[in-house]
Every structure is written in C-alpha cells, then in structure tokens.
Amino acid sequence: MKLLCMILMTLVLFACGSTSTKGKWNEEDRKEALKDVKEYSSALETLGSAKDLCFDCYIDSLEKIYENYDAAKKLNEDDRLGILMECAIQYVHYN
C-alpha cells in the first residue's frame, strides 16, 4: 500500500511541476523572462501596442535556443538587447 501511495505521489508531482525544455518553457520561466524584459519597456515606447508582441518575440527567441530561462540569463546584456532589437525591428511598422 505504501508503494502505491508513493508511486501516485510521484506521478502527481511530475504532472504538476512541468519543467522547461528547449522550445517549450514552462509558464514560470516565461513569466520570469517577461518580467525581466519589461525593464526595457520605456525604450520600446515607439512600438506602441506592438510592444507586447516584441516581448513575446524576445521570449520565443530565447526559448528556441535555451533549455530554460536560467540558462538564457547567462547571456550578456548586449546579446539580450540585440535579440530584443531584432524583435523590435519586426514590429516597428505594426501600428
């Protein structure tokens, strides 16, 4: 009986705590990345309503390359801004 309970608890823990993988981050990693990139919000005011699309582009770009946000945070600031600016260029004429 103890073994059955332990197996069930393990399955529940794995089902609830999905981990990020390259190309598919969990919600926690995406939220943390969004919080961090919003620090550049004032620099992207010219994008207007497309600013959120730019943020999504940035997170999607990191997600394709890195296993999780902790790995992506190891990028230096210049590289991060480069990715963000590439995304901003895509949406500069969106409005």
Residue 82: what pLDDT?
Answer: 94
Q: What local confidence, expressed as pLDDT, does residue 5 receive?
A: 44
Handedness of CA 91, 92, 93, 95 (dihedral sign): positive
Q: Tell me the two tokens of residue 89.
A: 């260029």
Q: What is the DSSP letter of 94?
A: -
- Entry pTM: 0.76
Given a cut of 70, is residue 11 above it in pLDDT?
no
Instruction: Tell me how long the chain is.
Output: 95
Give the model confidence (pLDDT) of 30-64 as tens digits: 999 999 999 988 888 888 889 999 999 999 999 99
Share of the chain above pLDDT 90, in %: 59
Exposure class string for 19-54: b at 16+ Cβ within 10 A, else e: ebeeeebeeebbebbeeebeebeeebeebeebbeeb
Going by pLDDT thresholds of 50, 70 and 90, the confidence category of residue 80 is very high
